[in-house]
Structure 1
Amino acid sequence: MNTPAFSSASPRDTGIGPPAPCPQGPGADAAHVVRTEQAGLDALARAFETPHTLGNAFAQALDILLALPGRVVVTGIGKSGHIARKIQATLASTGTPSLYVHPAEASHGDLGMIQRGDAILAFSNSGETTELGDIAAHARQTGLPLLAVTSRADSTLAVSATVALTLPSTPEACPMGLAPTTSTAVQLAFGDALAVALLRLRGFTATDFGTFHPGGRLGARLRTVRELMHTGAAIPLARPDTPMRDIIVEMTRKALGCVGIVGQNGTLAGLITDGDLRRALDHDLTTTLAETVMNPRPLTIEPDVVASEALRAMNERARPVTSLFVLDAQRRPVGVVHIHDLIRAGVG
């Protein structure tokens, strides 16, 4: 690995392309910015699909990060630093332990945050950011993998890296071709692609995601049915030979709008809802048995399904569903989740 010294970049070393012609008028200007950045993202997608450009390097980076015993230390300064902070947060919330280290603070003691077993993911569009010099040198001295995200394959950062992740160099959307716009959009998309690829390879699930997002509406939607369901004595249950008169008593006492009918082996044989009860009112409720009224194929759910999926299942039925029986692997009732439980939890 070559170890050239970092140097200050001249304007020609920035990796920023010349500005594209810009139309007149606020609306046209805005559309021009979006299309310019979109062109940069299209170039990034093509680079991922081309092995000899970004594809092979991306695969190497994934192998390193998946086998990593420590954390991903994400770094960058300026606009690249803001992108690095966002990518670090995305990695952490999707199952990849990570932290952000500011390059300037690293030179004043924060290098101590970087430990053996970590890897460094450094963002710099030009690859000539002087503030990254001490972190790159620390990586060399301690033998830590350095993954460089830059648009210049011949830059100091790229040459000194374990893996150089060279992004396509496309024109900035700024009319002067100077303000980081397209380049930061491409960096952001690259970082998201990296986080999602790691998420998939780790087998990270929606339940895992909910563990890291317990607060707010997102946290509520990712809570599991098990956390919200009524259990034990609160579950309304009866046998198939129970008279409908007693079903009314059980349904009223448990106040969930349904009664589960269980067979001798304890599995769910059917369900009676308040709608089924209304339709049976023209029968003799003292002699009519539950098995003649129950729905033998009710909608049910498993306990570890996320709450948002339970709500979706309720809403997809042509006939309104307000309660779901929760069954274990042997189809035995372990709980009931009511739509009001989901709404109170903030899922609806």
Structure 2
Amino acid sequence: MIVVMKMGAPEAEIERIDQELSEWGLTPEKIVGKHKVVIGLVGDTVDLDPLQIQEMSPWIEEVLRVEKPFKRASREFRHGEASDVVVSTPNGPVHFGEHHPVVLVAGPCSVENEAMIVETARRVKAAGAQFLRGGAYKPRTSPYAFQGHGESALGLLAAAREESGLGIITEVMDTADVEKIAEVADVVQVGARNMQNFALLKKVGAQEKPVLLKRGMSSTIDEWLMAAEYILAAGNPNVILCERGIRTFDQKYARNTLDLAVLPVLRSLTHLPIMIDPSHGTGRYEYVPAMALAAIAAGADSLMIEVHPNPAKALSDGPQSLTPDRFDRLVQDMSVIGKAVGRWHESAVALA
């Protein structure tokens, strides 16, 4: 249930309503929008009469029920307004959201060595990326495949961050690793295989760094949003959703089916920012540019693209990785679409 305050409602009146609703056993969450303040009510609201709440103050415009099972993630919860997830980086704050320029995230699947990760960071930053992605811990289907260098790779990511000024996005797989990863990462990633690891979702929800939540390989949109709800319910309001391809009946020509239809669907359902990962979504570098351009045209807030200085020798996901030169060309092409839809960052335009 949400309480929409009238424009210009006094702060003292909002605090009074907040206090009274708390005494009813509810948990009010104040959401400050561009023009109005909305109070989201979390708790047992089934038997509450909206008219009873409406009568609490002449400054209440309307009281609405949130019909979706995902309450905090629902667009209704913010009265239709989009979230602005702000991430602090060495180069300043970066905004993820539908009213901001497209954010570019690029880098290798795995952190292999210092020279490789620092070189990649320099190249993707020069092309216009604001974040470096790279796995220190890697979930792999085969127990014999490269699993990442673990904690030592976090130090390499920190070195790349220091050298380039890029923000860092890296994956957490275990609740025991959340704190040490959050010390290095600017955004903590929960991968597709852990989307419904509820203990992990609660843990990353209890820490302060923004969370990137990838869609599970066979997950419905409702299941994905309910996973986001776990993070939001644990206290972390800064969640970014990432579509990375799903399993369908035809995996012969591409690694996954990249579901670009989630862009308009999610836009109608949730206020959370949306990232698209065309690298995992297709599994082949030659398909990545077309899907990246399509994602921007369809309204993506961010793109995550795998880049490796020598994909043929990559320890993981080489076939879907672009070389730095290919990434340079792709950013130039993306800038055309990005500028056409009014979603391109000025510095990225200059670089492109």
Asked if TM exceeds 0.5, the reply is no
Higher share in helix? 1
More strand by share: 2
What TM-score does the superposition give when structure 1 sets the normalisation length?
0.24
